[in-house]
């Protein structure tokens, strides 16, 4: 079995504090690869929560939805079946152009491939 060239407790402590493998390697001055650190962390700590930017969602979509709501559309009203939805609706493009005015909301029942 290969011998580790780093202190596992230090690596795990840094991983629990939110540092990723590249930051751990840089901080401890290790010579192992990122994948070795990732494997060790996954083995002893399990999958850790993702970083905040990855969980933040799609900022562009949020801005488009905000513009559509500001323009008078309701995020919970489906333009295809004209019914209210308890969940936020998807966005459908009515015409293939660059005009944001051609976007409408559609519910989960009316959604098609290509709707966002």
Mean of per-residue pLDDT scores for the chain: 84
**DSSP per-residue letters across 21-54:** HHHHHHHHT--S-HHHHHHHHHHHH-SPPPPHHH
CA 12 to each of CA 43, 47, 69: distance values in angstroms, whole numbers, following the listed order: 10, 12, 45
For 60-74, how does the pLDDT look when each residue is reduced to its tens digit (9 = 90+)? 888 989 999 999 999
Helix/strand/coil for 4: coil
For 28-61, how does the pLDDT look when each residue is reduced to its tens digit (9 = 90+)? 988 898 999 989 888 888 877 665 555 566 788 8
């Amino acid at each position: 079995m290969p011998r580790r060239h780093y202190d596992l407790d230090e690596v795990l402590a840094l991983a629990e504090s939110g540092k990723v493998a590249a930051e751990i390697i840089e901080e401890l001055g290790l010579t192992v690869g990122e994948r070795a650190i990732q494997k060790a962390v996954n083995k002893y700590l399990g999958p850790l929560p993702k970083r905040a930017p990855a969980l933040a969602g799609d900022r562009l979509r949020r801005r488009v939805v905000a513009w559509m709501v500001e323009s008078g559309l309701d995020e919970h009203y489906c333009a295809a079946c004209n019914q209210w939805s308890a969940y936020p609706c998807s966005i459908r493009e009515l015409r293939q152009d660059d005009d944001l005015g051609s976007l409408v909301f559609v519910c989960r029942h009316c959604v098609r491939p290509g709707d966002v």
